Amino acid sequence: MPHASPHRAVDYLIIGHIARDGMGPAARLGGTAAYAGLTAAALGQRVGLVTSTAPSIDLKQLSGLDLADSPAPHPTSFENQYSGGRRLQKLLSLATPLGLEDVPAAWRHPPLVHLAPIAGEVDPSLAGRFPNSFVGITAQGWLRGWDQAGLVHASSWEAIADALPSADAVVVSVEDLAGDRSAGEAMAAHCRLLVVTDGPRGAMVFQGNDVRHIPAPASEEVDPTGAGDVFAAAFFVRLTQTGDPWKAARFANRLATASITLEGVGGLGAMVANLAGEKQALE
């Protein structure tokens, strides 16, 4: 069972590993759970984060979130390199898998659940274990494999096809699909609502027979890491507030684009809160 888990109810439950990106002095906090959790909190959500880390991870940047942390000998850790708009990623270590038993009892009936695997650590059956909640999935961690050296490669979405219909919304990137946009179309047939993000090109939103491209505003890129996670959290929160996936995608695009002007999670919460407070960000 997790250590140090608060017993108050939460608005936004996110399940996934907090990661350490990089090694040595340059290492920093990463993972969908970190970026999305901070984004949701800045949007006014009380966030409960179910994760597994190691003592070597400094969590003070997540002090505004409620954590249920199952300790592990080593944290999930990645090495990321960017070249020509593409990411070369290596998995260095992996923390403890996460299941329903890791979720505190007080957190099992939240308005919104975000399943956020980054390295296959979240049990896909959890998609069907929160019948009274909005369930959002960022599927990237279920769409990754790695070789013996830890080099990460894309794997087929079909392995999680049975979990997808249980979700209210699923977000993936073109990168998660190995650049195959036709895979997004095939995947959409199994989803109630699917968003495929594509960096500066924005996002494709699939809902039934309605498919729309939502462009992203232009921005100067400093660090693209976590932009898709910011998008997902903003999209899920805004969708539950408005019921309108197109408005939610425009809102999420705006916040995700702004996030690439920052390096790491530092300053992310303040940026999201300030931008979300601007009237034009909500239109």
Each residue of 133-142: pLDDT tens digit? 999 999 999 9
Q: What is this structure's pTM?
A: 0.93
Taking a C-beta distance cutoff of 8 angstroms, is the pair 104, 2 a contact?
yes
For residues 90 and 79, the answer to whether their CB atoms sit within 8 Å is: yes
pLDDT tens digits, one per residue of 140-186? 999 999 999 999 998 999 999 999 999 999 999 999 998 898 999 99
CA 120 to CA 191: how far, in whole Å?
Answer: 19
The pLDDT assigned to 168 comes to 98
Phi, psi of 258, rounded to the nearest 5 degrees: -65, -30
Q: What is the CA radius of gyration of the chain?
A: 17
> H/E/C letters for each residue in 198-209?
CHHHCEEEEECC
pLDDT value at residue 85: 62
Q: What is the DSSP annotation of 156-189?
A: -GGGGTTTGGG-SEEEEETTTTTT-HHHHHHHHT
Distance CA 50, CA 67 (A): 6
- Alpha-carbon distance values, 79 to 22, 99, 129, 153, 252 (Å): 5, 26, 33, 13, 26
Q: Among 3.40.50.300, 3.40.50.1820, 3.40.190.10, 3.40.1190.20, what is the CATH number of 12-277?
A: 3.40.1190.20
Question: For residues 228 and 175, what is the distance between their CA atoms, to the nearest angstrom?
Answer: 11
User: 42 or 278: which carries more pLDDT confidence?
Assistant: 42
Residue type, 216: A
| Cα–Cα nearest to 254, from 270, 272, 240, 236 | 272
Lowest mean pLDDT among 74-83, 108-117, 134-143: 74-83
> Measured in Å, how far apart are the chain's first and last C-alpha atoms?
42
State the chain's maximal CA–CA distance in angstroms: 49
User: What is the per-residue pLDDT for 7?
Assistant: 66
